[in-house]
A and B are shown apart, each in its own frame.
Chain A
Amino acid sequence: MSVVTPPQAARRADRAADGARASVAEWLRRPRPPLAPPRWLAILATALGGIALLGIPLVNPSYINLTVTLVMIWTVVGLGLNLLVGFGGQVSLGHSAFFAIGAYAVAVGGELGIPHPATLLVAGMLPFAVGYVIGLPALRLHGLQLGLVTLALAMATPAAIRAFEPLTHGSRGIAIDADPPSWVPLAHDQWIYYLALAAAVVAYLATRRLARGRLGRSFVAVRDAELVAETLGVNVWQTKTRLFATSAAYAGVAGGLYAMLLEFVGPENFNLALSISFVTLIVVGGLATVPGAVLGALFVQYVPTFTSSVSPAATGAAYGVVLIVFAFFLPFGLVGLARGALGKVVDRLPGRRG
């Protein structure tokens, strides 16, 4: 049985359209539909990936678990931010603020004696509410102006944390005891690893559902042509505020996990550089792609480790160069590259799809 899926058809048409005439730059820049693996491959890859992810913390030293946990935390932020920026087309340079709110929700909640996994819920809900309120006026702005307002948010975050000293203990920060509950036979690093894994899986599935189908199409319509979106019945402003609040909630949960992982929060953890690395993450991974958040998270976790071994200043320079290169040559990021490179091969694999 040979059923041609829309992505397969698109690639065939794509090839037929221009043969071998396209330059390399054009080839890189071309929008492409997602890979359409046959079902057996999807199941196999999910199973192997699942086993690997579940097994990692049991066989590795804690510093490895720490970096993999960070990758999952960045993934959660990236998934949410990509919903807002990639799919919804609303720029935010201010998500370090929501990340900080989530982190401090866990820290302050712990000081008040609320048990830790429960504080993660607050770490999601509080940034959602704050994001909604900030989004109400901010999303009336477009492009550059919205970028500036959210930039101000990121820049004000460390100062704001210091200013709320009675709650945040200012520059001294807050130490957190995030050991697993007594009934969990895991070390601290393993426990947080599994919490982060659960959060990343839930966030991934939720994002994939939101990004597809009726709502996903409405996001892209809002991004590409607001007037058209409205003509189709999309409440543009409501869509934008909900996207903003939802992406803030993702960042908040990630921030909460971050606080539990480091067992300390202080104002300098949440500076502008953190926001910039979030944006770099989604650009490198691939704007408006769901798997892009994972690839981008790997990038922002491991590339700075490598560059800082060259020179402390190299990380900033590397981010700058990478952002420029991706903006010019890879608008769909590493995921776009993977689609271009693997699309044909994956389409040829036999098996049932969809």
Chain B
Amino acid sequence: MTALLEVRDVRLSFGGLQALDGPSLDVADGEVVGLIGPNGAGKTSLFNCIGGLYRPQSGSIKVAGREVTGLPRHRIASLGVGRTFQNIGLLPSRTVLENVLAGGYHSTTGGWWATTLGLRRIGRSETELSARAIALLAELELSDVAGRMVGTLPFGTLKRIELARALLGEPRLLLVDEPANGLVHSEVLELGTTLRRLAAERGAAILLVEHHMGLVTSVCDRVAVLDFGRLIAQGDPHEVARDPQVVAAYLGSAA
């Protein structure tokens, strides 16, 4: 079986800075993979390459066997890649519910003519989407804020709203960037459990960037470690955490 996500020898540099130095990585259907590494290791850069925000100078990235480097960004989304952003990509002028509904764009239909003419299926699809969005908000404990404007809410809540939005698009591959940011310890583990369950119910694979090692080890099937744009280890979360190279990358080597 081919992997859902296949990253091969991706190289990306900004001027003289080598952000990604040829890492290769696979994510299978339904698998939850953690992507960890010190700040500046290239985790978010790799996310941005997969999502089409950056175009790597060389290497290949395939989603479900389809090359995505060079593909327009909106086409990548329709291949089933959903994501959340490290610094929040919500629409501040809209309510929480409307933000989540925006995640249903590529998984629903309704062109300009059909919408203008008010075809019945447009209304049905909207009703069905709203019901799913409201259910997702409940599962992520966001029902209380559903009608609030996004601009006024705390960071941890915004992270979960983004997650709900990404999940509403029924992604096959969900890229999650630091979901635990802004949460207290008890909330982090709870979020991990919910995330894992929601993804499993939908058969979505997750690639997770996270600094919170408790979340990574409890949620991920496998962990990949990036350092200076290179993949230095991957495997079982507990074993990787003991890998001397990984420890050195995080704490600085004794050399």
A residues near B (Cβ < 8 Å) are: 6-10, 12-14, 17, 31, 33, 205-206, 209-210, 213-215, 217-218, 220-221, 224-225, 227-236, 242, 246
1/0 contact string of B81-121 vs chain A (CB within 8 Å): 01101000111111101100111111010101001101000
Given contacts A213-B115, A214-B104, A231-B73, whether A224 and B146 have CB atoms under 8 Å apart is no
> What are 10 A-B contacts with C-beta separation under 8 Å?
A13-B148, A31-B151, A210-B112, A210-B116, A214-B126, A215-B115, A220-B102, A228-B90, A229-B74, A232-B165
For residue B186, CB closer than 8 A to chain A, the reply is no
- Cβ–Cβ < 8 Å partners of B108 in chain A: 214
Contact B91 A232 (CB under 8 A): no
B253 contacts chain A at the CB level, 8 A cutoff: no
A138 to B239, CA, bound (A): 55
Q: Is the CB of A233 within 8 A of B97?
A: no
Return the 6 tightest CB-CB contacts between A and B, nearest first: A233-B106, A9-B147, A233-B77, A10-B147, A230-B73, A228-B89
What distance in Å separates the Cβ of A223 from its nearest Cβ neighbour in chain B? 9
Q: Which residues of A contact B98 (CB under 8 A)?
A: 217
Determine whether B149 belongs to the interface, using a CB cutoff of 8 Å to chain A: yes
- Among B105, B112, B147, contact of A234 (Cβ-Cβ < 8 Å): B105
The smallest beta-carbon distance between A290 and chain B, in angstroms, is 13
Interface residues in B, total, Cβ within 8 A:
45
Residues of B near A232 (CB, < 8 A) are 74, 77, 102-103, 105-106, 165, 169
Nearest opposing residue in chain A for B168, CB measure:
A232
Are A233's CB and B74's CB within 8 A?
yes
A residues near B151, Cβ cutoff 8 Å: 31
Does B214 lie at the interface of the complex (its beta carbon under 8 Å from any beta carbon of A)? no
Establish whether residues A213 and B102, one from each chain, have CB atoms under 8 Å apart when the complex forms.
Answer: no
User: What is the bound-complex CA distance between A229 and B104, given in angstroms?
Assistant: 11
Look across to chain B and name the residue whose beta carbon is closest to the beta carbon of A238: B74
In the complex the two chains form, what is the Cα distance from A233 to B94 in whole Å? 18
Check A218–B73 contact: CB distance below 8 A. Answer: no
**C-alpha spacing A230/B238, complex, angstroms:** 36
Q: Is B244 an interface residue (CB 8 A)?
A: no
Q: Is the CB of B148 within 8 A of A214?
A: no
For residue B53, CB closer than 8 A to chain A, the reply is yes
Is the Cβ of A220 less than 8 Å from the Cβ of B126? no
A6 and B95 contact, Cβ closer than 8 Å, known pairs A225-B89, A230-B73: yes
**Which residues of B lie under 8 Å from residue A8 when comparing CB positions?**
147
Contact B83 A231 (CB under 8 A): yes
Given A10-B147, A213-B110, A224-B92; A218-B116 close (CB under 8 Å): no
Check: B72 CB closer than 8 A to any chain A CB. yes
A224 and B77 contact, CB distance less than 8 A? no
Contact partner of A231 among B89, B94, B95, CB < 8 A?
B89
Given contacts A214-B125, A231-B73, 20 further A-B contacts (CB under 8 A): A8-B147, A9-B146, A10-B95, A13-B148, A17-B152, A213-B122, A214-B104, A214-B115, A215-B115, A220-B102, A225-B89, A229-B74, A230-B52, A231-B89, A232-B74, A232-B102, A232-B106, A233-B77, A233-B106, A246-B112
A7 & B91 in contact (Cβ 8 Å cutoff): no
A12 to B148, CA, bound (A): 9
Q: Report if B194 contacts A (CB, 8 A).
A: no
Are A225 and B91 touching (Cβ within 8 A)? yes
CA distance A2 to B51 in the complex (A): 44
Indicate if B39 sits at the interface (CB-CB under 8 A): no
Give Cα A138 to B101, complex, Å. 30
B241 is an interface residue with CB less than 8 A from chain A: no
Complex contact A242–B102 (CB within 8 A): no
* B49, chain A: closest CB distance, angstroms: 13
CB-nearest residue of chain A to B94: A220
- Give the CA-CA distance A12 to B146 in the complex, in Å: 12
CA distance A213 to B74 in the complex (A): 19
Chain B residues contacting A231 (CB-CB under 8 Å) are: 51, 53, 73, 77, 82-83, 89
User: Given A217-B105, A227-B53, are A13 and B78 also a contact pair (CB < 8 Å)?
Assistant: no
* Cα-based distance from A86 to B91 in the complex (angstroms): 15
Task: State the Cβ distance, A198 to closest chain B Cβ, in Å.
Answer: 16
**Are A213 and B126 closer than 8 Å at their CB atoms?**
yes
Give bound CA distance, A8 to B106, whole Å: 29
Q: Flag if B95 contacts A242 (CB, 8 Å).
A: no
Q: Which of B120-162 contact A (CB under 8 A)?
A: 122, 125-126, 129, 145-149, 151-152
Q: Nearest chain A CB to B132's CB is how many angstroms away?
A: 13
Residue from A7, A214, A235 within 8 A of B74 (CB atoms): A235
Contact B72 A235 (CB under 8 A): yes
CB distance A6 to B147 under 8 Å? Answer: yes
Q: Given contacts A17-B152, A233-B105, are A33 and B74 in contact (CB under 8 A)?
A: no
Enumerate B36-89 residues with CB–CB distance to A below 8 Å.
51-53, 72-74, 77-78, 82-83, 85, 89
Which of A14, A213, A236 has the most chain B CB atoms inside 10 A of its CB? Answer: A213
Instruction: Let me know if B95 and A33 touch, CB within 8 A.
Output: yes
Which chain B residue has the least Cβ–Cβ distance from A233?
B106
Q: A236: which B residues are within 8 A, CB to CB?
A: 74
A228 x B91 contact (CB < 8 A): yes
A210-B116, A215-B112 as given contacts; A230 in contact with B147, CB under 8 Å: no
| B77 contacts across to A, CB distance below 8 A | 230-233
| Chain B positions within 8 Å of A10 at CB level | 95, 147-149
Q: Is the CB of A206 within 8 A of B149?
A: no
